[in-house]
Structure 1
Amino acid sequence: MARGLVADGHEVWTSSRRDPGVPGARHLAWDLTAGPLADPPSVDAVVHAGAAVSDWCALDVARATNVGGTLAVRDTFPSARFVHVSSGSVYDPFRPSVRAREHEAPVDRYLDAYGTTKAEAERALARDAAHHPDRGAVVVLRPHAVYGPGDTTLLPRVEAAVRRGRLVLPGGGRVLQSLTHVDTLLAAVRAAVALPDETVRAPGGGGGPTPGWLVANVADAEPVVLRDALVDALSRRGTDVRVVAVPVRPAWVLAGAVETVARRVRRPEPPRLTRYALSHLAMERTYDLTVLRDVLGVDPAPTSFAGAGTW
C-alpha cells in the first residue's frame, strides 16, 4: 500500500518496528504497544494496517497490538483521516457469511484472539468517533483473504498444508468465498483517503448511526468456489494438487481437541488444523460490496492469480 501511495505522488511515511524499505517513503520506527508518539510528523491521513495477525496469538498480546496499538495511532494523529484496515474475521465465525453487510459485525463471540481483538478495535474506534466528533473521520475497511504480491499469509499457509500432492479441505472446499487481491485493497485505501469529509460525516452516510464513521467490506468483484481458486493458485505456483474432502463436523471436533492439547503443552505455533481455519474453509464467506462500490467508488476486478508464480 505504501508503494502504491508513493506512486500516486503522496508524501508517505511508513511506520513499524522494522523499516520495510519502500522507495520514496520515509520511515518512522515505532512499536505501537509503547503508546502514542511524542513528536509525530504532520499528516493528512493515516492508513493503519498494523496488527498481530495470528489465530494462535495470546489474547493479551493481540489486545496490546490490535486494540492498544490502534488507539495509540488514533491519539497520535487525532486530526487526520483515519483509514483502519480491519478484517472479515469480525463477522460471526460460527455461521456462514452470505453476502454479509457491514452492520452484521462485530458480534459477541469469536474463536480466537485475532477476531476478538479486531472487533474490539472497531468498537473502540466507533466510541472514539462518537465521543470526539472534532477528530478526523474514520473509514474502516474489512478485506477478506488478501492475496497477491507480498502475501505472507494466505497462499504460504495453503502451500504448507499440501502433503504428497494432496490438499485436504473440509467438505471438499465447495463453498463460495470472497477473496481480496492486494490491488483491490489498495484501490479501497486510495478511495478512503480521498473520500470527501462531508460524505463520511453525513448522518447515515457512513452506513451507521455515527457521523464521521464509515465501514466498507472489501473484496474482488464476485465470489469464487474456494476449491477451484486454491487449485488454480497452487498450479500457477508450480504445485499440482488433488483435493481430498473430509467431513466438516468431525473435522471441527478434532480441531477443538487438537487445539486443547496444543495449548496445554504450550505449543508456540498453531496446529495445522484449527477451528479458525475451518470457520473460513468450511463455510461460505461472501460479502455485500454496495458501500465499496457506491460510496467509495471502487469497481473491483475479478479474482485473478495471474503472476502468482512470482509472488
Structure 2
Amino acid sequence: MRVLVTGATGFLGGTAARLWQSAEMDVVGVGRDPVQGAALQAAGVEWVQVNLLNRGSWEPLFDRVDAVFHAAALSSLWGRWPNFYRQNVQVSAAVAEACARRGLRLVHVSTPSVYNATGWTQNVGEDTPLGPTFDSLYAKSKYQAEVAVQRACPDACLIRPRGIYGVGDTSIVPRLVRALRTGHLPRLTRTEVFTELTHVRNVVRAAELALHSRVAGIFNVTDGVATPIWHTIDLLADTLNLTCPRRYLSPRLVEGAAGVLERVYALHPARPEPPITASSVRLLTRGMTLDLTRARERLGYQPVISPPEGLAEVLRSLA
C-alpha cells in the first residue's frame, strides 16, 4: 500500500510515516518544515514540501497513492477562529473531496476534545450528542471538520485519540515541563484526577488497522487505562529534579482568572497566547475516560504500548 501522510513533519504524522516506511509500506509524507522533511528523507520516506492551504500544491500527489492518513491540523489551546477554520475545516474538507473523487481510503485524525462541553466524563462513547457549544475553538473546528469529512467522503474512517504522548511529543509534556520550571504551577485539586492518554504508537496502530479495513465512521482511541494526572505530574517533576506542585488553588478561581487573561490578550493586535488558558485548567482538573468498544470490535484495535511502558519511556528520555 502506498500511503500519503499529511502533517508528516509533525509528531503524529512523522511517527506514522517512519513506522510505516520501516514496515515496508510505501510512504509519501507532506508538510512545511524542511528540517523535519530532511529527517524523514533520511529515514527513507519520500517527502514533499507543501502548504495544505494551497490545494494545487498537493492534490496531484493523490494520483500516486492508494490511501491518505490526514494527521495535519492546527492543534492549539489558543488562536483565531479564521485560522482554525481554514486549517482544520477547509483543508480537511478538501482532502476528503480529493479522496472521494479518486476512491482513496481516508483515515482522518479528529479529537475527543469534541466531548469536553458535553458534561460526560466516564466511558464516553462516539454517539455522545455534540454541540452546539464547544470547550474551545480547536474543538469546534475539529467537530466541523468531522462533519465536512463525512459529508464529502462517507467511507472515511475518523479516529479520536485522546492526549497523544511519547518521545518527541511537542505539546503535552513540553507544556507541563515549562509550567513546572516556572515554579508557578499550583495544585488544582485535592484529590486525584483520572484521564486517558494515547501513546503515539497506539494511535499509529489504530490508523494502520483503519487503513487496511473498509470500516467507516468514528472511533475513540486511547491506551485503554485511566492515568492519574497529578501523580504523573509529580513523576515528571521528580525526573527533572523540580519541585512538585504543592500549593493548592481553587480550580474555579484559576479558571476564572484564565478567562480574564484570555480576554485581555485577545485585545492585543498580535493575540499572543496567555500564560494560562481556561482550557488548559480544565484539562488538569476534569478527567475523562472513553469507551473503546467500537474500535476493539470493528477495527480489532488493541494497544501495543501500555501506559506504564509509554510513560517510563518518556521519563527516561527526559532524565
The question of a shared fold, defined as TM-score above 0.5 by the shorter chain, is answered with: yes
Give the aligned partner of residue 168 of structure 2: 150
Pick the structure with more helix per residue.
Answer: 2
* Structure 1 consecutive aligned stretches of length 4 or more whose deviation exceeds 4 Å: 163-166
Partner of residue 53, structure 1: 75
1:233 corresponding residue in structure 2? 236
CA distance in 2, matches of 1:160, 1:174: 21
| TM score, norm. by length of structure 1 | 0.86
Partner letter of residue 72 of structure 1? A
- Within 5 Å, which residues of 2 pair with 1:1-311? 1-19=16-34, 20=37, 21-22=39-40, 23-36=43-56, 37-40=58-61, 41-78=63-100, 79-93=103-117, 95-104=119-128, 106-130=130-154, 137-163=155-181, 165=183, 167-172=185-190, 174-195=192-213, 197=214, 200=215, 213-266=216-269, 268-300=271-303, 301-304=305-308, 305-308=311-314, 309-310=316-317
Q: Say if 1:38 and 1:193 are closer, same or farther in 2 by CA, change over 3 A.
A: closer
Give a deviation string over 1:131-167, Cα, whole Å, max 9, x none: xxxxxx2111111111101100000001111156563
In structure 2, how many angstroms separate the alpha carbons of the residues matched to 1:115 and 1:299?
Answer: 26
Query: What secondary structure, in the 3-state scheme, does the structure 1 residue paired with 2:299 have?
Result: coil
SS at match of 1:251: helix
- Give how far 1:310 is off: 1.9
Q: Matched residues in 1 for 2:217 and 2:114: separation? A: 15
Q: CA deviation at 1:239?
A: 3.8
Contact 1:45–1:82, Cα closer than 8 Å, also in 2: yes
Answer 1 or 2: higher relative contact order, Cα 8 Å, separation at least 6: 1
Percent identity of equivalent pairs: 26
Change (3 A) 1:234 1:145: farther
Q: Report the Cα distance in structure 2 between the residues aligned to 1:95 and 1:272, rounded to whole angstroms.
A: 26
TM-score with structure 2 length normalisation? Answer: 0.84
- Of residues 233-242 and 154-163 in structure 1, the stretch that sits farther from structure 2 once superposed is 233-242
Alpha-carbon distance between aligned partners in 1 of 2:206 and 2:241, rounded to the nearest angstrom:
31
Paired AA for residue 193 in structure 2: V
Q: Which moved more, 1:229-238 or 1:38-47?
A: 229-238
Deviates more, 1:89-98 or 1:172-181: 89-98
Q: 1:76 to 1:227 in 2, by over 3 A?
A: same
Contiguous gaps of at least 5 residues in structure 1: 131-136, 201-212
Q: Which runs of 5+ in 2 are unaligned?
A: 1-15
* Residues 85 and 141 in structure 2, CA contact (< 8 A), matched pair in contact too: yes
1:2–1:14 CA contact under 8 A, matched in 2: yes
C-alpha distance in structure 1 between counterparts of 2:127 and 2:120, whole Å: 15
Whole-angstrom distance in 2 between the partners of 1:13 and 1:142: 23
Q: 1:307 to 1:113 in 2, by over 3 A?
A: same
The change in CA–CA distance for 1:303 and 1:172 in structure 2 (over 3 A counts) is farther
